[in-house]
Amino acid sequence: MTKRDIVIKISEELGVTQVIVAKIVDKLLHHVCDSVLRGEKVELRNFGVFKQKSRKARLGRNPKTGKEVPIPARKVACFKPGKIMQERMPG
């Protein structure tokens, strides 16, 4: 499912124009992204948590040459599913 599919589905369910729904979805994603980049945790109850995580520097290996390559420390965005999503997942 793409962002466009989400916009169409919400638009049909609520009877609101796709333009308005697209603006709302874009703003939501913009604010979530900005908050995570600032190091803040974004918690959507029962859906999940978006947050920033630090990865330590480590040694990797170039698969082509087999030579060890240093991989610097970095920050990554991660998502942890909430209770309802975990309950709905099969297995």
Q: Across the chain, how many H-helices and E-strands are there?
A: 3, 5
Judge whether 6 and 25 are in contact, CB under 8 Å.
yes
Helix-strand-coil split of the chain, %, nearest 5: 40, 30, 30
Interatomic CA distance for residues 58 and 37, integer angstroms: 23
| Residue 16 binned pLDDT confidence (cut-offs 50, 70, 90) | very high
Sequence-distant (6+) residues with CB within 8 A of 28 are: none
Give 28-56 pLDDT, tens digit per residue.
999 999 999 999 999 999 899 999 999 99
- First and final C-alpha spacing in the chain: 22
Q: Please tell me whether the overall predicted TM-score, pTM, comes out greater than 0.95 for this model.
A: no
Q: What is the DSSP letter of 89?
A: S
